[in-house]
């Protein structure tokens, strides 16, 4: 990602320091005057108009203080860049082996709780030492229910970092059972939801202060013809630039290529991604998806979704189980984002593909100049139907097969099950010898036509 001070154009000239200092002086004078007005307003909680005036004064004062801080930054210049950190830093994973008493923590989990990544991970007996004292009984009940009764974990508690900062963590986990049904280990995905909870508390406090009633509601003016209002929080979709890792060209017996096709017309930032991950057992995880945010929660991004999916895939779960767990994870947000995705697990030992989808175009299989749309029972959007409605299918693949996954912005289809013009490319794809050649052909044929949404394509060719 290029620096804000790009080499392609000269950096903007910083305004004169004297002029900025004068603005800072005026702003601080206004802060003092505004504070005096605030003190003169009625502080009678029984008077609705007094509460409204007090709230407006508080808002104006905060905005002036923000302006003062921004002007100081303008005067002092940009701060040094922060150290680069993983976009998945807010989602971590862990596994505890009950037979050997060993524990595994991802580096992201160490960062969430403020521990040195080089330090040994805490065992289940040691884990409560990180938790706020009043939340420890709840954590104990979650873990006990998982280990003794094989119940899934889904709850929140607060942890105290070494610097004293308190963070709220949402934990989801499952027991791993042996052939006799005994628990041998437990895995979990932990997500830092502190900012989300803080935002909810702030909104609640504001509502309580104003009683959701504005005695002098602002007048609404109709937008000029042809003018589109700026996207509000409910329209904003998370940027995808940090949501799709660059897949390797080859991963074991697969030849993989990807393409990102931007919208040809103006559109909000989308939340699409593609994903390729070689798993420890030799299988390969393939997926594409789109996440549409519906609130101010910055944690609901493709990056955190990818982190959760990858962490859960390490447990050996199949695609249908992954999507079920993903729905539970996203439902913790209020309101929950809408997610459409397809995930596949390719087993090279048997050349079989297990896959499931939710509100997403089905995988396309190209073989010998013919095209097939794969299908699986159930296709629902997270939050719009029971997880049990989703199913998983398996398909046997052959050497030379081409698998295509794409988001629904690629072609004008009538929903996830509508006609797909990509199927007409089967004869031409048959002559392509690499995944890159196939992806190049798809991008050339679908890279125009007034598409209003960004699109992502993942092509996997079976090579062995």
- Encode pLDDT of 57-88 as tens digits: 878 887 888 888 888 888 877 766 544 443 33
Burial class of residue 350 in the structure, from the number of CB atoms within 10 Å of its CB (0-12 exposed, 13-18 middle, 19+ buried)? exposed
Mean pLDDT (whole number) for 159-188: 88
Q: What is the spatial distance between Cα 11 and Cα 31, in angstroms, rounded to a whole number?
A: 32
Strand, helix or coil for residue 436: helix
Share of the chain above pLDDT 70, in %: 69
31: left (phi over 0), alpha (psi -120 to 50) or beta: alpha
User: In terms of DSSP H, where are the helices of 77-162?
Assistant: 107-113, 136-149
Confidence tier at 42 by pLDDT (50, 70, 90): low
pTM of the model: 0.49
Q: Is the peptide bond before 216 cis (omega within 30 degrees of 0)?
A: no
User: pLDDT confidence of 380, banded at 50, 70, 90?
Assistant: very low
Residue pair 349/319 in contact (Cβ under 8 Å)? The answer is: no
36 or 109: which carries more pLDDT confidence? 109
**Type and span of the H or E element at 71:** helix 48-76
- 111 or 40: which leads in pLDDT: 111
pLDDT band at 432 (very low <50, low <70, confident <90, very high): confident
Q: In the prediction, which pLDDT does 251 show? A: 57
Q: What is the pLDDT of residues 136-147, one digit of tens each?
A: 999 999 998 888
How many residues make up the chain in this entry?
A: 464
Please report where in the chains the tokens 């989300």 appear, as a residue: 196
Identify which has the larger pLDDT, 239 or 19.
19
* 196 — pLDDT class (breaks 50, 70, 90): confident
Tell me the average pLDDT across 224-253. Answer: 42
- What percent of the chain stands above pLDDT 90? 13
> 268: which DSSP letter?
P
Over the stretch 332-371, which tens digit does the pLDDT of each residue have?
666 777 788 899 999 998 999 999 988 888 899 999 889 8
**Quick one: average pLDDT of 110-133?**
91
Q: Residue range 215-244: average pLDDT?
A: 38
Token pair of 132 as six digits: 């706020």
In this predicted model, which residue has the larger pLDDT, 232 or 449?
449
Structure tokens at 265: 């017309």
């Amino acid at each position: 990602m290029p620096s804000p001070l790009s080499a392609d154009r000269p950096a903007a000239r910083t305004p004169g320091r004297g002029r900025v200092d004068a603005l800072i002086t005026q702003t601080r004078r206004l802060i003092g005057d505004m504070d005096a007005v605030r003190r003169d307003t009625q502080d009678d909680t029984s008077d609705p108009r007094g509460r409204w005036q007090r709230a407006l004064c508080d808002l104006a004062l905060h905005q002036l203080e923000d302006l003062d801080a921004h002007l100081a930054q303008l005067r002092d210049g940009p701060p040094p860049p922060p150290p680069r950190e993983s976009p998945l830093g807010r989602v971590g994973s862990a596994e505890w082996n009950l037979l050997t008493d060993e524990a595994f923590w991802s580096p992201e989990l160490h960062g969430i709780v403020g521990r040195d990544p080089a330090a040994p991970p805490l065992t289940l007996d040691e884990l409560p030492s990180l938790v706020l004292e009043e939340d420890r009984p709840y954590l104990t009940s979650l873990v006990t229910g998982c280990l003794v009764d094989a119940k899934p974990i889904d709850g929140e508690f607060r942890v105290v970092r070494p610097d004293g900062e308190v963070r709220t963590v949402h934990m989801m986990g499952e027991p791993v059972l042996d052939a006799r049904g005994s628990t041998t280990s437990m895995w979990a995905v932990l997500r830092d939801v502190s900012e989300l909870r803080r935002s909810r508390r702030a909104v609640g406090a504001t509502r309580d202060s104003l009683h959701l009633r504005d005695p002098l509601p602002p007048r609404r003016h109709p937008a000029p013809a042809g003018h589109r209002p700026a996207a509000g929080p409910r329209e904003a979709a998370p940027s995808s630039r940090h949501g799709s890792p660059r897949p390797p060209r080859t991963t074991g017996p697969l030849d993989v290529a990807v393409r990102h096709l931007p919208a040809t017309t103006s559109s909000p930032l989308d939340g699409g991604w593609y994903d390729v991950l070689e798993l420890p057992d030799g299988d390969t995880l393939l997926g594409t998806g789109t996440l549409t945010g519906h609130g101010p929660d910055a944690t609901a991004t493709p990056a955190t979704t990818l982190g959760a999916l990858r962490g859960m895939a390490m447990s050996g779960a199949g695609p249908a189980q992954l999507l079920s767990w993903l729905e539970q994870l996203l439902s913790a947000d209020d309101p929950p984002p809408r997610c459409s995705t397809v995930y596949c697990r390719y087993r090279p030992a048997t050349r079989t593909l297990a896959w499931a989808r939710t509100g997403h175009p089905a995988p396309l299989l190209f073989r010998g100049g013919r095209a097939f749309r794969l299908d699986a029972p159930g296709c629902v959007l997270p939050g719009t139907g029971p997880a049990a409605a989703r199913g998983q299918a398996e398909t046997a693949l052959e050497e030379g097969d081409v698998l295509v996954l794409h988001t629904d912005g690629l072609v004008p289809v009538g929903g996830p099950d509508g006609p797909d013009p990509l199927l007409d490319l089967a004869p031409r794809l048959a002559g392509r010898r690499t995944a890159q050649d196939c992806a190049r052909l798809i991008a050339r044929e679908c890279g125009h036509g007034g598409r209003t949404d960004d699109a992502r394509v993942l092509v996997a060719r079976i090579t062995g």
